[in-house]
Structure 1
Amino acid sequence: MNITLRQLQVFLTLFESRSFTATAAQMHVTQSAVSKMVAELEAQLGFALFDRTSRRVEPNDAAREFRGYAEDIMASMQAATRSVVELSSLARGQISIAASPLMIYGLLAEPIARYRERYPGIRFELHELSTDEAVESVRAGRVDFGFGALDSEVPGVEEELVFRDRLLAVVPPGHALAAGKSGKSVRWADLAQWQHISLRRLYSVRRTLDMVVEHEGVTLPSQIEAGTLTAALGLARAGAGIVVLPGYAAEIARGWGMAAVDIDSRPRQIHRVCLIRRKSARPSVAARSFLAELLPVLRAREPAARGGAGR
């Protein structure tokens, strides 16, 4: 068997596009070259990968099974190539990270800026994604690593807890929950009396909140569900409701002139942020170097590390 990386790349592109014409355009080759490479791959494997009609190409069960292995091979080769290029004292290189927009804003922005001061040749590629999307990007090898929290085990990826944060209630300026609450916390029963801006369950923040309110036995009324944390903050700032967020996001809200109120702090109300990596993958030199500097910074920022709420 003599399968080439080019054949695998054509296979993966055709799997996504379902079109020989589109695949040829993306790969900058002729349509006949695409057909030939797919046919050669199928001949070496000993089975068909696509069901062909006059108008469309559909992956079959064999293709869906083979896809994961092809992605692993391509991701490993891409990582290996990057590592070789980046061995020259981090003079060049790229780090790809998947995380939610406010996680990038609230947790990663400053460490990235400090890292680039010392290594200006390193290019950061930031993918602002939901937790589910970040996990899939890591699994497929499209990014070096991601941040979020898994609800259950996902084949091909592993997680490591790197940061814990307390939950806070973000309210617009002058809100009754913020009045006279300096240094104090509100109860979940207090929050249940107000309309909330909720986030979709694509985000680990929403999943954390759902578990907490279920344990507390309260219901947080909500008539608005937002797709991003920035949208939720904008709605809360406009007075459409309050929003419960982790501390790293609440710090940004304060910068926007809003108030962030502690919520009856207990260990079970901790929001977990995990480093998500592809199993058996060897990160590039730049990715390993950045993580070696980032993780101690995150752990030092934990409320528990500072002796604050959330212990």
Structure 2
Amino acid sequence: MNPNNISIRQLQAFVQVAHNGSFTRAAEGLHLTQSTLTAQIQQLEDQAGLKLFDRTTRRVLLTAEGERFLPVAQRLLSDFETAVTDLQSRAELKQGHVSLAGSPSVVTRLLPSALPEFRTQHPGISVHIRDDSAGSLEQRVLNNEVDFAIAGNHSQQPDLEYRPILRDLYGLVVTRHHPLAASKQLEWAQVPDEELLLLSGDTGIRAQLERFSASGQLNIQLDKARIEATNPAGVAALIAQNLGVSVLPALAADTHSFEQLRFIPLREPELEREICIITRRGRALSPAAAALLASIREQLSRMKLPNGVQGCVKNRD
């Protein structure tokens, strides 16, 4: 017997005939002609190479082989119906799972305001959020560990698609009593190199600063940084202890960790970070992931963004 040639309709026909003990009543229950039903049973028996029913003038009875096969057929049909129902529920957003990743500033500043409305609309969908460095975020998308990521463009991977949603201006972060704290804006030439605290090299922000420096857009010496941290919250704690100053995008400096510090926009040149939706090229989002992404976009369109952060013109798929 080749199980690949047995169809769901044949299993349904077999179970109905077994339950009814009659081809006539089974055909009525399945809304088939009796000849069609008889043909399906015949095809199943031919595939199996066994008789599954003993036919008498009054009743149709299961053979011994049919008796053994009946609970298997019932289980297969039940599993199939459950799988189809699950697919329909996911398509209708009644249930599902979304896994996304974001840079620390995105997870802290943007996602919390978008999730409550999404959870209200789709209570059956679970959400798993990862907070990671930019390089790791891209790799998680490539490995299909997450549906999408929201972060800066770290390395322009050819297998990933980057759709900008925010532009994020760089600025200097200092304590409130720092000599530069009263400034409304500064030039990059005024950044005190000898006081620099920076994010580590595996972060998207540091990688972008290195690219700016290599292209000649920056005249500060990043290699003078005395201390490095792996996330913005760590940098904020170091600045609060008067251990130096840092250069960060506006969104990264707008979390609770920076409440007692000052962010001063940097001009000449005016440098920005792009926050992107990162997806794997050629891979369609699940209905649940697409719904969450739409909810995030909708929330961004209504959100009052921090000074130095603005939405991109191309913020739609």
Deviation at 1:222, TM superposition (A): 1.0
Q: Is this contact kept in 2: 1:83–1:284, CA < 8 A?
A: no
Q: Deviations over 1:149-190 (max 9, x none)?
A: 3354424322111211111211123111113x2xx2012122
* Aligned counterparts of 1:94 and 1:236: Cα–Cα separation in 2: 39
Matched residue, 2:192: 192
Unaligned stretches of 5+ in structure 1? 1-79, 307-311
Letter aligned with residue 208 of structure 2: T
TM-score, normalization by structure 1? 0.64
* Aligned counterparts of 1:254 and 1:137: Cα–Cα separation in 2: 27
* Aligned counterparts of 1:271 and 1:247: Cα–Cα separation in 2: 9
After superposition, the Cα gap between the structure-2 partners of 1:254 and 1:273, relative to the gap in structure 1 and judged at 3 Å, is: same
* Aligned counterparts of 1:265 and 1:92: Cα–Cα separation in 2: 50
Residue 143 of structure 1 pairs with residue 146 of structure 2: yes
Deviation at 1:304, TM superposition (A): 4.3
Residue 303 of structure 1 pairs with residue 303 of structure 2: no
Matched residue, 1:130: 133
Counterparts of residues 104-253 of structure 1 (less than 5 Å): 104-179=107-182, 181=183, 184-213=184-213, 214-220=216-222, 221-252=224-255
Letter aligned with residue 136 of structure 1: Q
Matched residue, 2:273: 271
Deviation at 1:289, TM superposition (A): 1.1
Matched residue, 1:281: 283
Q: Is this contact kept in 2: 1:196–1:223, CA < 8 A?
A: yes
Letter aligned with residue 174 of structure 1: H
* Aligned counterparts of 1:263 and 1:81: Cα–Cα separation in 2: 55
Unaligned stretches of 5+ in structure 2? 1-83, 313-317
Matched residue, 1:86: 90
After superposition, the Cα gap between the structure-2 partners of 1:265 and 1:166, relative to the gap in structure 1 and judged at 3 Å, is: farther
* Aligned counterparts of 1:231 and 1:151: Cα–Cα separation in 2: 20
Secondary structure, counterpart of 1:212 in structure 2? helix
After superposition, the Cα gap between the structure-2 partners of 1:235 and 1:286, relative to the gap in structure 1 and judged at 3 Å, is: same
Secondary structure, counterpart of 1:215 in structure 2? coil
Matched residue, 1:97: 100
Q: CA RMSD in A?
A: 2.7
After superposition, the Cα gap between the structure-2 partners of 1:218 and 1:119, relative to the gap in structure 1 and judged at 3 Å, is: same
Q: Is this contact kept in 2: 1:102–1:230, CA < 8 A?
A: no
After superposition, the Cα gap between the structure-2 partners of 1:191 and 1:146, relative to the gap in structure 1 and judged at 3 Å, is: same
* Aligned counterparts of 2:195 and 2:148: Cα–Cα separation in 1: 36
Letter aligned with residue 125 of structure 1: H
TM-score, normalization by structure 2? 0.63
Q: Is this contact kept in 2: 1:253–1:260, CA < 8 A?
A: no
Q: Is this contact kept in 2: 1:98–1:134, CA < 8 A?
A: yes
Matched residue, 1:14: none
Secondary structure, counterpart of 2:309 in structure 1? coil
Matched residue, 2:4: none
Q: Is this contact kept in 2: 1:166–1:265, CA < 8 A?
A: no
After superposition, the Cα gap between the structure-2 partners of 1:255 and 1:115, relative to the gap in structure 1 and judged at 3 Å, is: farther
Secondary structure, counterpart of 2:251 in structure 1? helix
